[in-house]
């Protein structure tokens, strides 16, 4: 069935937004691999040049979609949760993320299947998910810097994938299965993070000693340099 097309006018909606919506609509109807850029352009009522200005590839449109979902979650902060424990704040943030994703469930079902079929794409998409999780932690007031933060982010990205897998098939209005899975993942994550943070505190003095030794070596004479017999600047032995 032919679909209505938005007029190409200066007052029309943002082409980037139309492209994102077009891709998600098409992927809800067919395999991701079967959606061509020209199909997206036709559905979004944009030219190929407009698409190129907005996104470098079809996969990049998914990154644009993730950023839109990030914005929807971050724009809907709940001040009353500030007094809650960090776990409850993160639980709420991630449930809000699922609420924002709900209109795109069928498209996300296919995208999840595509990522299982294409490990290279899955690896690239992982970075986008990690970036989104960085902002979800920030929204929950949870630190995500340093080595421990990097481990925390990747662990949350893996946990999120498992939660989404349950959510895709959870058709109950209360999302009881999804919430139970999210609760389990957060409990597992808390234990893992506690272990990482203990290890990080234990290793901190050794890192300080190693950094001090490195700085000392940089400030001293390099044993691989020697002075020329005529008093010129020392030369690197490896350069001879």
pLDDT score recorded for residue 194: 58
Judge contact between 64 and 20, C-beta under 8 A: yes
pLDDT for res 85: 87
Please write down the HEC assignment for all residues of the chain.
CCCCCCCCCCCCCCHHHHHHHHHHHHHCCCCHHHCCHHHHHHHHCCCHHHHHHHCCCHHHHHHHHHHHHHHHHHCCCCHHHHHCCHHHHHHHHHHHHHHHHHHHHHHHHHHHHHHHHCHHHHHHHHHHHHHHHHHHHHHCCCCCCHHHHHHHHHHHHHHHHHHHHHHHCCCCCCCHHHHHHHHHHHHHHHHHHHHHHHHHHHHHHHHHHHHHHHHHHHHCCCCCEECCCCCCCCEEHHHC
Predicted pLDDT at 190: 78
What is the model's pTM? 0.74
- pLDDT attached to residue 189: 80
Pick out the chain residues at pLDDT < 50.
1-11, 195, 198-204, 206-211, 213, 222-226, 234-240
pLDDT at 215: 62
């Amino acid at each position: 069935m032919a679909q209505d097309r938005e007029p190409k006018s200066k007052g029309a909606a943002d082409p980037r937004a139309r492209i994102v919506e077009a891709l998600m609509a098409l992927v809800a109807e067919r395999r991701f691999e079967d959606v061509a850029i020209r199909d997206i352009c036709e559905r979004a009522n944009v030219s190929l040049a407009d698409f190129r200005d907005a996104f470098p590839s079809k996969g990049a449109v998914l990154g644009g979609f993730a950023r839109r979902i990030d914005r929807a979650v971050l724009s809907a902060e709940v001040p009353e949760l500030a007094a809650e424990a960090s776990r409850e704040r993160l639980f709420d943030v991630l449930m809000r993320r699922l609420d924002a994703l709900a209109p795109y469930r069928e498209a996300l079902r296919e995208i999840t299947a595509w990522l299982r079929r294409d490990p290279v794409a899955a690896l690239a998409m992982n970075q986008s998910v990690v970036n989104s999780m960085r902002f979800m932690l920030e929204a929950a007031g949870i630190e995500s810097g340093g080595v421990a933060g990097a481990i925390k982010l990747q662990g949350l990205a893996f946990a999120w994938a498992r939660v989404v897998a349950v959510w895709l098939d959870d058709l109950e209005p209360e999302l009881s299965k999804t919430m139970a899975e999210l609760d389990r993942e957060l409990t597992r994550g808390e234990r893992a993070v506690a272990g990482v943070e203990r290890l990080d505190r234990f290793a901190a003095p050794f890192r300080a000693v190693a950094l001090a030794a490195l700085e000392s070596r940089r400030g001293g004479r390099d044993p691989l340099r020697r002075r020329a017999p005529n008093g010129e600047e020392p030369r690197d032995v490896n350069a001879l």
